[in-house]
Chains A and B, each alone.
Chain A
Amino acid sequence: MREDRGIFYKIDWVMVGLYLALVVTGWLNIYAAVYDETHHHIFDFTQKYGKQMFFIIAGLILAMGTLIIDPKFFSQFAYFIYGLFLFFLIIVIFSGREISGSKGWFAIGGFGIQPAEFAKMATCLALAKYLSTLDVDIRKLSTLIVASAIIFVPGVIVLFQHDTGSAIVFIALVIVLYRAGLYGYFPLALIALPVLGVLALVISKIILAGCLLVLTILTLSFIKRRLRNILIIGAIFLISVGFVFSVDYSVNNILEKHQRDRIHVLLGQDIDLKGAGYNVNQSLIAIGSGKFFGKGFLQGTQTKYNFVPEQSTDFIFCTIGEEQGFFGSGILVILFVTLFVRIVLVAERQRSKFARFYGYGVASILFFHFAINIGMTLGLLPVIGIPLPFVSYGGSSLWAFTLLLFIFIRQDSFRHELI
Chain B
Amino acid sequence: MPMERLYANRKYIIIGFFILIGFLFLARLFYVQILVDKYILSANNNVLRYMTQYPARGLVFDRFGKLLVYNEAAYDLMVIPRQVKNPDTAALCELIGIDKQEFLRRFEKARNYSPYRPSIFEAQITRENYGYLEEKLFRFPGFFVQLRTLRKYSYPVAAHTLGYIGEASPEIIVKNPYYRSGDYIGISGIEKSYEEILRGKKGMKIRVFDVLNRDKGSFREGKYDTTSVAGTDLYSSMDAELQIYGELLMTNKKGSIVAIEPATGEILCIVSSPSYDPNLLVGNIRKKNYTQLLEDTIFNPLFNRAQMASYPPGSSFKLVDALIGQQEGVLTPATRYGCGGGFPIGNGKVVACHPHPSPLDLIGAIQISCNSYFCRVFKSIMDNRSYINTRAAFESWRKHILSFGFGKKLGIDIPNELNGNIPTASYYDKYHGKDRWRSMTIISLAIGQGEIGITPVQLANMASIIANKGWFYTPHIIRAIGRKDSLNMAFATKRKVSVDPSYFDVVIEGMANVVTAGTARGAKIDSITVCGKTGTAQNPHGKNHSIFIAFAPREKPQIAISVVCENAGFGATWAAPIASLMIEKYLKRKVTRKDLEQRMINGNLINGKLPENERGQGNILQD
Contacts and interface: CB of A to CB of B under 8 A. Distances in A.
B219 to A, nearest CB: 9
Nearest to A36: B216
B28 A378 contact: yes
A353 B7 CA distance: 13
Contacts of A382: none
B4 A341 contact: no
A325 B15 contact: no
* Chain A at the B interface: SS class: helix
A402 B376 CA distance: 118
B288 interface: no
A382 to B, nearest CB: 15
Interface in A240-297: 281-282, 284-292
B20 to A, nearest CB: 10
A337 interface: yes
- What is the interface residue range for chain A against chain B? 35 or more
Interface in B17-49: 18-19, 21-22, 24-26, 28-30, 32-34, 36, 38-40, 42-44, 46-48
Nearest to B216: A305
A179 B14 contact: yes
Contacts of A330: 26, 29
A301 B4 contact: no
B211 interface: yes
A284 B32 contact: yes
B8 interface: yes
Given A341-B19, A344-B11, A371-B21, A329 B29 contact: yes
Contacts of A137: 3
Contacts of B39: 284-285, 287-289
B210 A306 contact: yes
Contact of A333 (B26, B36, B38, B212): B26
Given A292-B33, A329-B29, A374-B25, A337 B43 contact: no
Contacts of A307: 46-47, 210-211
Interface string A308-333: 00000000000001100110011001
B2 interface: yes
B4 A380 contact: no
B15 A344 contact: yes
Contacts of B40: 288-289, 291
Greatest chain A CB density within 10 A among B3, B22, B48 is at B22
A378 B19 contact: no
Interface in B37-69: 38-40, 42-44, 46-48
A377 to B, nearest CB: 10
B208 interface: yes
A305 B211 CA distance: 6
28 contacts: A137-B3, A178-B14, A179-B4, A181-B6, A282-B46, A287-B33, A289-B42, A289-B44, A291-B33, A291-B40, A301-B208, A302-B46, A305-B210, A306-B211, A307-B211, A321-B33, A326-B29, A334-B26, A337-B18, A341-B19, A345-B15, A348-B8, A356-B4, A363-B14, A367-B18, A367-B21, A371-B21, A378-B25
Contacts of B43: 285-286, 288-289, 301-302, 322
* Chain B at the A interface: SS class: helix
A27 B3 CA distance: 43
Greatest chain A CB density within 10 A among B46, B209, B212 is at B46
A34 interface: no
A306 B39 CA distance: 16
A166 B232 CA distance: 67
Interface string B204-244: 00001111100010000000000000000000000000000
Contacts of B212: 306
Interface in A160-200: 175, 178-181
A371 B48 CA distance: 33
A340 interface: yes
Nearest to A325: B33
Contacts of B32: 284, 287-288, 321, 378
Contacts of B209: 305
B175 interface: no
A55 interface: no
A19 interface: no
Nearest to A309: B211
Contact of B46 (A285, A321, A340, A344): A285
A395 B73 CA distance: 56
A178 B16 CA distance: 14
A336 interface: yes
B10 interface: yes
Nearest to A182: B7
B210 A321 contact: no
10 nearest A-B residue pairs (beta carbon): A288-B39, A305-B210, A289-B43, A337-B22, A289-B40, A306-B211, A301-B47, A326-B33, A285-B42, A288-B32
A286 B45 CA distance: 12
A374 B32 CA distance: 13
Contact of B3 (A181, A326, A345, A374): A181
Nearest to A367: B18
B44 to A, nearest CB: 8
